[in-house]
């Protein structure tokens, strides 16, 4: 079950974090994966080596590209298809979060989040669609429980996630005509690897989110199941959603949040 042997995938924003967990799970299920990073190439190179150790030399490539630029998105897709001859799976994951309130948000950060979180997801879907039509492939978008529940720490992030919910549903109904499925995964807080609480590219005033090592496996009251998420929680769901067994699933938004939305 849930075998992705022979499938080709692109996972955006997979140099680290949730995207890396997704790439790892897809490779474990047999897929070949194009990893993508925008800035932190050194960390992504490490991830590439890790993936190749896991699935063999030919299981992964790394392409640096800014998905908010359609031409770069398109070039990445073309390069992937040139390498492996087709494309079956797009996982839209590259997104930004700034953790600032209404009164602190610079306008250029508002524009940046719209351009990356919504524009980038749109660019990648459009760039991949011609190839996904041929394979009757699938698109999975990584969003957040904050597409439904406000954050109270980053209004623009929540706005983009609310918009993303509709982008997924519109894409699902439009692309159903081509047999291409579009679904969404909604994680809550996910323990990822950067130590500082924010990526190196973060330029705004730092407000570190309340996630650290100590909390990971302690009873943490936000999560009904007692822990924050891990990248692989979304990864396993991505494997299912991209598999043949999910052929009747489209337009779905599935929470992988440890029951945080129950609280």
Partner 1 sequence: MRFSGKTVYITEASSAVGEALARRFASEGANLVLGDACPCLVKELEEKGAKVLNVQGAPIHYEQAEARLAEILKTFPRVDALIFNNNKAIKTSIENLERAVFDEQMNYNLKSAFVLTRTLGEHMGGYGNGKLVFVSSIHDDKPTGSTPFYSVAKGGITMLSKEAALFFGRKGLQSNVIELGALEGDDETFKSEFAGQYVYMEHRIPRGKAGKPEEVAGIAAFLASEDSNFVNGASIRADGGFMLHYRFR
* Active-site residue set: 157
> Among residues 176, 216, 225, 262, which is the contact residue for partner 1, using CB under 8 A?
176
Are 261 and 149 in contact by the 8 Å Cβ rule? The answer is yes
Are 20 and 44 in contact by the 8 Å Cβ rule? The answer is no
Taking contact as CB under 8 A, which single stretch among the options 16-24, 39-47, 163-171, 241-249 is the one that binds partner 1?
163-171
Report the site for partner 1 in 237-256 (rule: CB under 8 A).
Answer: 251
Give the residue with the Cβ less far from partner 1, 150 or 259: 150
Nearest to 113 by CA among 151, 78, 77: 151
Give the residue with the Cβ less far from partner 1, 48 or 145: 145
Are 96 and 120 in contact by the 8 Å Cβ rule? The answer is no
Question: Crossing angle, helix 231-242 and helix 17-28, to 10 degrees?
Answer: 50
Give the residue with the Cβ less far from partner 1, 57 or 108: 108
Location of structure tokens 């993508």: 36
Distance of closest approach, residue 118 Cβ to partner 1, in angstroms: 6
Report the site for partner 1 in 72-131 (rule: CB under 8 A).
Answer: 101-103, 105, 107, 110, 114, 118-119, 122, 125-126, 129
**Judged by CB under 8 A, how many residues of this single chain contact partner 1?**
42
Token pair, residue 29, equals 């299920």
Residue 142 as a binder of partner 1 (CB under 8 A): the answer is: no
Taking contact as CB under 8 A, which single stretch among the options 20-28, 90-98, 167-175, 221-229 is the one that binds partner 1?
167-175
The dihedral over CA atoms of 81, 86, 88, 91, expressed in degrees to the nearest 10, equals 0
> Among residues 155, 179, 197, 199, which is the contact residue for partner 1, using CB under 8 A?
155
Give the residue with the Cβ less far from partner 1, 155 or 199: 155
Cα distances (Å, whole numbers) of residue 123 to 15, 17, 77, 190, 226: 19, 21, 11, 25, 37
Asked whether the CA dihedral 82, 84, 86, 91 is positive or negative, the reply is: negative
Give the DSSP H or E segment for 36. Answer: strand 32-37
Instruction: Enumerate binding residues for partner 1 (CB under 8 A).
Output: 70, 101-103, 105, 107, 110, 114, 118-119, 122, 125-126, 129, 146-147, 149-152, 155-156, 158-167, 169-177, 251
């Amino acid at each position: 079950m849930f075998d992705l042997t022979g499938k080709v995938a692109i996972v955006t924003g997979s140099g680290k974090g949730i995207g890396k967990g997704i790439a790892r799970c897809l490779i474990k299920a047999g897929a070949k994966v194009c990893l993508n990073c925008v800035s932190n190439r050194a960390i992504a190179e490490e991830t590439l080596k890790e993936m190749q150790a896991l699935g063999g030399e030919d299981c992964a490539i790394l392409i640096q590209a800014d998905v908010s630029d359609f031409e770069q998105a398109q070039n990445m897709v073309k390069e992937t298809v040139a390498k492996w001859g087709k494309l079956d799976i797009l996982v839209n994951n590259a997104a930004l979060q700034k953790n600032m309130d209404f009164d602190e948000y610079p306008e250029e950060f508002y524009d940046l989040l719209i351009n990356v979180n919504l524009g980038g997801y749109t660019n990648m879907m459009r760039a991949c669609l011609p190839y996904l039509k041929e394979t009757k492939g699938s698109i999975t978008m990584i969003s957040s429980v904050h597409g439904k529940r406000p954050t109270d720490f980053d209004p623009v992030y929540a706005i983009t996630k609310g918009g993303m919910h509709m982008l997924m549903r519109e894409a699902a109904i439009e692309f159903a005509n081509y047999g291409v499925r579009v679904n969404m995964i909604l994680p809550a807080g996910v323990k990822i690897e950067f130590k500082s609480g924010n990526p190196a590219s973060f330029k705004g005033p730092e407000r570190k989110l309340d996630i650290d090592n100590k909390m990971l496996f302690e009873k943490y009251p936000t999560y009904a199941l007692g822990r924050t998420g891990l990248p692989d929680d979304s990864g396993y769901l991505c494997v299912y959603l991209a598999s043949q067994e999910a052929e009747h699933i489209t337009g779905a938004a599935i929470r992988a949040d440890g029951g945080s939305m129950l609280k």
